[in-house]
Structure 1
């Protein structure tokens, strides 16, 4: 039995999220498929700024999860298990 690489799973999950989100944005204005873009966004509304005089650091994180990105993650896991 061969072991599966965790990095491959991570790359596949990230690509499933990105492709699912892209498909969700493309289908937002299609009447029968607009439900794929339904989701929730969470994170920092305004970024945190750390001003050190010489250096200014800005921290921010926002995640948007949609139905299409969840489907993309599920498909990525199924494909990973088939490998």
Structure 2
């Protein structure tokens, strides 16, 4: 099974690491000793882009918040991928 690594597995593990890291960071935001885990930067579109085509209205928006906990989650996901 060690030779069955592929890019999709890595992508899923990294996405899981980002989500779990962000979740842990938001939980730790109110804990005095762990609030540093929620420190980070958000970037993206502040106001969504709206495209009105008459019959259909499309709204585009993307905001990404990178925190210390999500970076730790990414690193752990890569380590798990290498270990599998």
* Aligned: 1:71 with 2:77: no
Q: Helix, strand or coil: the match of 2:71?
A: helix
RMSD: 1.0
For 1:79 and 1:52, the matched residues in 2 are separated by: 46
Give the deviation of 1:3 after TM superposition: 4.7
TM-score, normalised by the number of residues in structure 2: 0.96
Deviations 1:17-74 (A, max 9, x none): 0000000000000000000000000000000000000000000000000000000000
The equivalent of 2:40 in structure 1 is 39
Q: Helix, strand or coil: the match of 1:31?
A: coil
Q: Helix, strand or coil: the match of 2:30?
A: coil
TM-score, normalised by the number of residues in structure 1: 0.97
For 1:65 and 1:5, the matched residues in 2 are separated by: 25
The equivalent of 2:57 in structure 1 is 56
For 2:54 and 2:14, the matched residues in 1 are separated by: 39
User: What are the ranges of 5 or more consecutive residues in structure 2 without an aligned counterpart?
Assistant: none
User: What are the ranges of 5 or more consecutive residues in structure 1 without an aligned counterpart?
Assistant: none
